[in-house]
């Protein structure tokens, strides 16, 4: 990615010098100081870098000194909007080259429009060169039930029988206002159908020749390429780095990336191309959900309308050609579901296979005398138990918004006479009032999958004589080689010839103090190859009282079965509903060593990333240890590769 900036900076400085001008560079949001050092290397006459974040500004000063540019780069510790020009100001005179990368997945979400606009009005000369020179936002309208699963809750049904219907307020809600950023390249080809060809909908002239507007709407008239129902819009953007339109940085998914056709003509497969195209985890793609599902037909022109304010984008599609785009407020959630639950949780609630397993086990347990206690946040399956014949359901809902959502479903399905909501764990019903405890388990406050073992602590208030679902839980792991995910923790080292190791030390010191050795990631978005078979870390019997369990301290080794670059361990939890049926938050198909793992898209898995990447062979092993203090709920993991680096 940085090569694009280097080429743009080099071209800008050369152009100013060819015109007999000085090249005076302003670097906004300098971070490590890398772009400023590029400008120095390319021969800029003066360079001013600004950085508002104090730890980063101090780090940049050290990096600039370490690389020998302290006499060429002046660092200003403030926001660019607070900078002054003049004899005693931050810059003696205005700059004539601006370089900055204040972009996010949505392009404008970090305030790029106001940053560029303020710079042109206050910090730059006329006819300044700006890097990047322009930006374009691209959109593609798609049909995809898989995408919809993240946005709206469908009725719960089994064998074509509806057990729970969705309130109209949920079905008609446009969803969360926050952008849904995603690695679209990893989205299965057969999970969506493009209805319109990709369209450039907003073009931003960053050069200053025209004023950047904070509020715009644009209407495109487009003919669909296939019949279907428009559900959502895929979005990405690209940047033109230089005034000659020669250097393009594209964030497009693999099937629309400008390099794809070139590589396909050379015989590369789409799968191989996906690995060759630059990987990014900050500038991904995004999904926007249309406020209304719209049927479209081939060659019948539709109106695709885009809107943006200073920070956000939104869209609508009208199934006719209109002359003037209507005004449209930025969509916000009106049903509380999209505020109470994350997108992966909504996807869980829509997972038919998952629901079918739970319902099968409930059907075996529920009788007309069943009084069930449901211990999970937003547990619609607990409500569905009434339709399966349960006499009464107690539902624990300690989260205010989740409680409001459950109340909507209770009202819609006319269940109020048989459902009682409990708002505090202190008010749970006594043991003699229930005969079945059920949980998915899921709690809004849980981050890593095993934190949902809070369910175990709640059911331990009751004797083991009361039936429960699930009956056990197993924490699982597998040793892996990530294609790209490990890069989020990888040191920068030397980048484009500049030593950034001081930044690496800062990040590592901060990480050692504050980061858990296990983080969570939606692993379906990150290609992962298994280097071992899955292994059991610890199985818990949920019929036992957790308060009577002794501390757990385990240490074992796992053999590596496939040669590879070992950079991580993936972790998840399996819930055993009974002796035969299990719900996994990890792989969706059996894991084979040496092959790519297929991950559940509706949960986030635990990830341990090794600091050092090690080439492992079938003679290698990984030592793991696990400790659990039930009294405090603390779990600790440790992993070490027992093999020497092979060079």
Tell me the catalytic residues.
101, 110
Count of CA atoms in the C-beta half-sphere (13 A) of 222: 23
- Residue 370 tokens read as 């069943």
Nearest in space to 594 (alpha carbons), one of 480, 468, 429 = 480
429: helix, coil or strand? coil
Strands (E), 439-516: 467-469, 472-482, 494-495, 498-499
Nearest in space to 491 (alpha carbons), one of 605, 608, 609, 571 = 609
The strand pair at 371-374 and 392-396 is best described as parallel
Nearest in space to 336 (alpha carbons), one of 398, 421, 424, 402 = 402
- DSSP string of 494-512, one letter each residue: EETTEE-HHHHHHHHHHHH
Count of CA atoms in the C-beta half-sphere (13 A) of 599: 29
Cα–Cα distance, 308 to 329 (Å, whole number):
10
Nearest in space to 574 (alpha carbons), one of 600, 555, 595 = 600
Task: Please check whether residue 168 is in contact with residue 411, taking contact to mean a CB–CB distance below 8 angstroms.
Answer: no
Nearest in space to 304 (alpha carbons), one of 135, 105, 142 = 142
Cα–Cα distance, 117 to 123 (Å, whole number):
10
450: helix, coil or strand? helix
Q: Where are the alpha helices (DSSP H) in 228-310?
A: 258-265, 270-276
The residues facing 469 across adjacent strands are 438
Q: Which helix (H) or strand (E) holds 95?
A: strand 95-100
Cα–Cα distance, 286 to 237 (Å, whole number):
10
R_g of the chain, CA atoms, integer Å: 28
- Residue 78 tokens read as 């403030």
- Residue 430 tokens read as 């006594």
Nearest in space to 7 (alpha carbons), one of 128, 129, 131 = 131
């Amino acid at each position: 990615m940085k090569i694009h900036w280097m080429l743009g900076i080099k071209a800008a400085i050369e152009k100013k010098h060819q015109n007999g001008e000085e090249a005076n560079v302003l670097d906004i949001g300098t971070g490590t100081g890398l772009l400023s050092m590029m400008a120095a290397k390319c021969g800029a006459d003066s360079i001013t870098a600004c950085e508002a974040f104090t730890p980063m500004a101090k780090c940049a000063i050290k990096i600039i000194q370490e690389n020998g540019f302290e006499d060429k780069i002046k660092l200003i510790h403030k926001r660019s909007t607070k900078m002054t020009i003049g004899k005693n100001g931050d810059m003696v005179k205005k700059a004539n080259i601006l370089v900055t990368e204040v972009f996010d997945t949505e392009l404008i979400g970090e305030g790029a429009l106001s940053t560029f606009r303020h710079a042109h009005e206050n910090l730059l000369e006329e006819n300044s060169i700006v890097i990047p020179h322009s930006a374009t936002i691209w959109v593609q309208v798609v049909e995809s039930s898989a995408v919809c699963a993240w946005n709206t809750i469908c009725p719960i049904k089994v064998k074509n029988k509806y057990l729970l219907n969705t309130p109209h307020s949920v079905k008609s809600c446009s969803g969360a206002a926050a952008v849904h950023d995603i690695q679209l390249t990893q989205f299965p080809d057969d999970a969506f159908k493009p209805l319109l060809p990709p369209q450039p909908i907003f073009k931003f002239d960053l050069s200053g020749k025209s004023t950047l507007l904070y509020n715009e709407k644009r209407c495109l008239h487009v003919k669909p390429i296939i019949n279907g129902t428009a559900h959502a819009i895929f979005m990405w953007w690209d940047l033109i780095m230089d005034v000659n339109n020669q250097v393009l940085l594209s964030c497009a998914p693999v099937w629309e990336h400008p390099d794809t056709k070139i590589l396909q003509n050379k015989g590369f497969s789409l799968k191989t191309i996906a690995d060759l195209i630059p990987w990014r985890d900050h500038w991904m793609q995004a999904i926007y959900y249309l406020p209304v599902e719209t049927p479209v037909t081939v060659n019948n022109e539709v109106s695709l309308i885009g809107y943006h304010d200073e920070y956000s984008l939104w869209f609508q599609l009208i199934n006719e050609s209109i002359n003037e785009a209507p005004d449209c407020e930025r969509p916000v959630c009106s049903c509380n579901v999209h505020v109470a639950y994350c997108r992966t949780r909504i996807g869980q609630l829509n997972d038919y296979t998952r629901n079918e397993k739970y319902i099968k086990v409930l059907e075996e347990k529920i009788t007309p005398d069943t009084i069930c206690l449901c211990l999970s946040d937003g547990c619609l399956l607990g409500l569905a138990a009434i339709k399966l014949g349960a006499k009464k359901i107690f539902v624990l809902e300690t989260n205010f918004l989740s409680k409001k959502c459950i109340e909507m479903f209770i009202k819609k399905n006319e269940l109020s006479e048989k459902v009682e909501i409990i708002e505090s764990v202190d008010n749970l019903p006594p043991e003699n009032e229930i005969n079945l405890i059920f949980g998915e388990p899921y709690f809004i406050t849980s981050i890593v999958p095993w934190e949902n073992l809070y369910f175990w602590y709640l059911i331990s208030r009751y004797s083991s004589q009361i039936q429960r679902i699930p009956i056990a839980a197993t924490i699982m792991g597998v040793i892996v080689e990530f294609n790209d995910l490990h890069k989020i923790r990888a040191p920068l080292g030397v980048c484009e010839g500049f030593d950034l190791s001081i930044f690496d030390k800062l990040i590592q010191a901060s990480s050692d103090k504050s980061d858990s050795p296990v983080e969570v990631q939606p692993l379906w978005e990150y290609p992962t190859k298994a280097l071992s078979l899955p292994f059991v870390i610890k199985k818990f019997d949920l019929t036992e009282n957790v308060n009577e369990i002794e501390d757990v301290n385990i240490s074992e080794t796992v053999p590596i079965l496939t040669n590879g670059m070992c950079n991580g361990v993936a972790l998840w939890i399996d819930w055993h509903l009974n002796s035969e049926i299990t719900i996994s938050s990890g792989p969706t198909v059996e894991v084979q060593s040496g092959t790519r793992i297929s991950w559940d898209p509706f949960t986030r898995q635990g990830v341990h990333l090794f600091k050092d990447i090690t080439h492992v062979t079938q003679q290698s092993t990984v030592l793991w240890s696990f400790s659990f203090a039930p009294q405090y709920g603390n779990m600790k993991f440790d992993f070490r590769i027992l093999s020497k680096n092979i060079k």
